[in-house]
Structures are given as C-alpha cells and as structure tokens.
C-alpha cells in the first residue's frame, strides 16, 4: 500500500473517538462526499452531463433539421443561424452533432461494456483457473492481439451486416454489429489486467483467509478479488470508451459502419478533414466533442476509482 496515507491510525485518540460516534453515513453517501473532493472529476461530471444532456434533449432546444440543405450557406463559419457553422452542403453542424452524438456516445458506452464484460470474464477465468485453462486463454488473447484487425472487421461486417440489418433494421443492426465487433476486438488488454490482478490477489492472505473460512470459489472472486481489481479496471474502461468512439469513426470512414448520412462524430471529423483550410469548424467541433467526452470520462473514472477506494484519504 505504498503511497497511501492511512486515514486515522489513532483510533484511540479522543477526537477520533468522537468522530467515530457521530452518525454513521451510508456507503453511497460517503462515496459521493469523497467524489466531490476530487475537483477534476467533478468538472468531468459536469462537462459530461452537459454533453449527454445536449445530445439527448438538444433536438428540443435546437430544432433545425439536420438534413436541411442550404447551398447559400455552404461551408459557412459559426454564426447565429448556425452556431457551429455548416458543411459543404450547407447542413447545420450543430444539429448534425446533436444527432450523431447519440450514436457516438451509445456506441462508446455499449462497446466498452462488451469489451469489459468479455475481458473480465476471460481474465477472471484465466486468473482463477491457472494451469492449462490459463495457458489456453492467454494464447487466445495473444491471438486476438496479433490479428490484423481491419481486414477482420471488413470480413465480419461483409459477412453479417445484411443478416443483422434484416433482423434488427438498418440502424439497430448496424449498431449491434459495430458494438459487438469493436467490443470483441478490444477485450484483450482488460483480460490481461484482470488476470494479472487476480494472480497477485490469489496469493494474498485475505483471500486465503476467506478460503480457510470455507468460501466458495465464486465468493472468493466476487467478494474479494473483483472489488480489488476495480481501480485499474475503471481506468481501463474509460480508455475503452474513448477507443470505441474513435474506432467507430474509423469504421464509418471506411464505409463499414453507419451509412454516410448518419453523422456520427467520427464521421463528421473525417468528412471535415478535407476542408480544414476553408471550414475548420467542420472538423474542430466534432473533434472537440470527442476530446471533451473522452477527457471528462477519464477524469470521472479517476474520481470514481478514488471514491470507492476506502484506503484513499479524501
């Protein structure tokens, strides 16, 4: 526990005792109190809330249709009529970003959940089973890491896109395939983190103590090992959201993700790159949106990690 200061070593001091007798606070409330002390995390939460609010309710506040074409205002810089400017066809960029943001955020979050889910599953099984199972799962992980991802993406999407679109509709089907494909190609680092943590936790005496008390394997994992993996896991998960948002834009760029008329942030960024000199706002605003989202999620992750770590003094 190097680098951590004990909160109160003096449990017998009169002051500490008085504090101990004060009204017990609930765990969640205490975590919230600790979270608020983390200034950057609070800023992250506020920024992210604004972005999410804007994306969900922005349509009501900014009713300009996203596909209204206005050639007279093509490539216009930010103005009162078009706060974020327009693209080459005169689409209002703010309206497009409000719509695209929903998809970008949803893809980022869902793909992260898929990646974390798969990663924790593989990592936890490898980390507890050890031996041959572990060797096999790590081979699998290395295999996935070594796969050339782009050709694979191409293949998977060509193979399954039509079927899924038929089953779940245009947007639903593509959303599903994008999320699953991104998630399924990004679980490896999480699996490795979880496995490594489990390897060290498995030898810890408190896990041995649980075993000595008669705890089942499942209980050991759920009550003792996973909670102590939370710190690195939260950090990795926030990075995964960022990665997924960017990966989705790559897919859209290659014409494999959402159709070109669905303006996800990544798509806007790629479309705008040809006009950096004429209309920098086309790339800057979606770029800023991705950047701010990723950054605020990352700070939020730091704050959550610290708030839920009882050893940390806040």
Partner 1 sequence: MSATPLLSVRGLRKHFPITGGVLAREVARVHAVDGVSFDIAEGETLGLVGESGCGKSTTGRCILRLIEPSGGEVLFRGQDVTRLDRKALRALRRDMQIIFQDPFASLNPRHTVGGIIGEALEIHNIGKTRAEREARIVELLETVGLRPDHMRRFPHEFSGGQRQRIGIARALAVEPRLIICDEPVSALDVSIQAQVINLLEDLQERFNLTYLFIAHDLSVVEHISDRVAVMYLGRVMEIAPSRELYDNPRHPYTEALLSAVPIPDPRIKRKRIMLQGDVPSPINPPSGCHFHPRCPIAEKHCSQEAPSLRETSPGHWVSCHVRG
Q: Which residues bind partner 1 (CB under 8 A)?
A: 1, 4, 6-9, 11, 20-21, 24, 204-206, 208-215, 219, 223-224, 227-228, 309-311
Which of 14/214 has CB closer to partner 1? 214
In the complex, minimum distance from the CB of residue 176 to partner 1, in angstroms, rounded to a whole number: 35
If the CB atoms of residues 170 and 208 are measured against partner 1, the closer one turns out to be 208
**Least Cβ distance, residue 131 to partner 1 (angstroms):** 10
CB 41 within 8 A of CB 35: yes
Residue number with CB closer to partner 1 (7 or 167):
7
Distance of closest approach, residue 199 Cβ to partner 1, in angstroms: 15
Residue 64: strand, helix, or coil: coil
Nearest distance from residue 61's CB to partner 1, in Å? Answer: 42
- How far apart CA 211 and CA 205 sit, in angstroms, is 10
184 versus 215: smaller Cβ distance to partner 1:
215
CB of 266 or CB of 301, closer to partner 1 = 301
Measured from the CB atom, the residue of 215 and 288 that comes closer to partner 1 is 215
Which residue is it, tokens 């806040």?
A: 314
We find the least distance from the C-beta atom of residue 218 to partner 1, in angstroms, to be 12
Please report, for residues 43, 44, 100, 234, the alpha-carbon distance to residue 50 in angstroms, rounded to integers and kept in the order given.
11, 10, 15, 22
**Alpha helices (runs of H) in the chain, residue ranges in sequence order:** 14-21, 27-36, 39-61, 93-129, 131-146, 149-168, 170-184, 188-202, 205-212, 217-219, 230-253, 265-272, 280-307
| Burial classification of residue 27, based on how many CB atoms lie within 10 Å of its CB (0-12 exposed, 13-18 middle, 19 or more buried) | exposed
- Helices 93-129 & 39-61, crossing angle to 10 degrees? 130
Min dist. Cβ of residue 15 to partner 1 (A): 14
């Amino acid at each position: 526990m190097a680098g951590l200061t004990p909160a109160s070593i003096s449990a017998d001091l009169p002051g500490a005792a008085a504090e101990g007798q004060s009204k017990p606070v609930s765990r969640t409330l205490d975590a919230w109190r600790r979270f608020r002390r983390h200034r950057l995390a609070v800023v992250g939460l506020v920024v992210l809330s604004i972005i999410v609010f804007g994306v969900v309710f922005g349509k009501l506040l900014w009713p300009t249709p996203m596909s209204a074409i206005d050639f007279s205002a093509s490539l216009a810089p930010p103005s009162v009529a078009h706060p974020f400017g327009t693209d080459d066809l005169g689409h209002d960029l703010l309206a497009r970003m409000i719509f695209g943001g929903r998809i970008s955020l949803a893809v980022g979050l869902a793909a992260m959940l898929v990646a974390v889910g798969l990663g924790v599953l593989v990592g936890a099984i490898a980390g507890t089973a050890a031996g041959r199972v572990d060797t096999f799962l790590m081979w699998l992980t290395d295999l996935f890491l070594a796969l050339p991802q782009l050709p694979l993406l191409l293949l998977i999407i060509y193979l399954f896109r039509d079927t899924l679109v038929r089953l779940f509709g245009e947007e639903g089907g593509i959303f599903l395939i994008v999320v699953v494909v991104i998630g399924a190609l990004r679980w490896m680092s999480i699996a490795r983190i979880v496995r490594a943590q489990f390897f060290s936790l498995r030898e810890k005496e408190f896990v041995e103590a649980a075993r000595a008390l008669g705890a089942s394997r499942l209980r050991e994992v759920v009550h003792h090992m996973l909670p102590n993996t939370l710190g690195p896991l939260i950090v990795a998960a926030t990075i995964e959201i960022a990665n997924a948002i960017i990966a989705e834009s790559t897919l859209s760029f290659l014409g494999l993700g959402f159709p070109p008329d669905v303006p996800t942030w990544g798509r806007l960024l790629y479309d705008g790159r040809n006009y950096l000199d004429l209309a920098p706002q086309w790339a800057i605003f979606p770029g800023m949106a991705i950047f701010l989202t990723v950054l605020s999620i990352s700070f939020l992750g730091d704050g959550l990690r610290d708030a839920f770590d009882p050893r940390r003094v806040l």
